[in-house]
Amino acid sequence: MIGLGKYMYNEGFTYHLLPLKPDTAAQPLESTNSMVMYNNMMNKFKYGNMKTASYLDHESLTMFYPLISRLYTNLAENLYKEGHADLAKNALRKYNEVMPDIIPAQEVAESSQPDRFRPQGHTPGPAC
């Protein structure tokens, strides 16, 4: 991104270019504008009936479910690092409220999560 990645801050489903001193410890495009992202994820975004849907199509399972999972994980992790453990817990509760309890295609979840979230010695199954 022509050197601008370190100035891009995730605010949910968008990145915002902000003229802030970049966090040198964060990878490009991993920084969040946590309080704005929290407000967006908790109050603005609507998730429809994804939690109770009897059927989730291919796009929902392979694109949206992993994306929303990653966004909530990043938000909670960054809020916790910034000293907002209570907000991080609220974000994880919201995730549990809006996302399905059971993922029909386990391979999707395994292939979409970074290695740091896998148990030690776990080998993911074959991709779909």
Q: What is the pLDDT along the chain (128 residues), one digit of tens a residue?
A: 577 777 777 777 777 677 766 666 666 556 778 898 899 889 988 888 888 888 888 888 888 888 888 889 989 998 998 899 999 999 999 999 998 876 655 444 444 555 544 445 545 555 44
Q: Which amino acid type is present at position 19?
A: P
pLDDT at 128: 44
Q: Give yes or no for a contact between 108 and 62, defined as CB atoms under 8 angstroms apart.
A: yes
pLDDT at 107: 45
Q: Which two tokens stand for residue 103?
A: 């993922």
- Distance of alpha carbon 40 from alpha carbon 58, whole angstroms: 25
Identify the bridge partners of residue 16 per DSSP, sorted by sequence position. 9
- Phi and psi at residue 17, in whole multiples of 5°? -80, 115
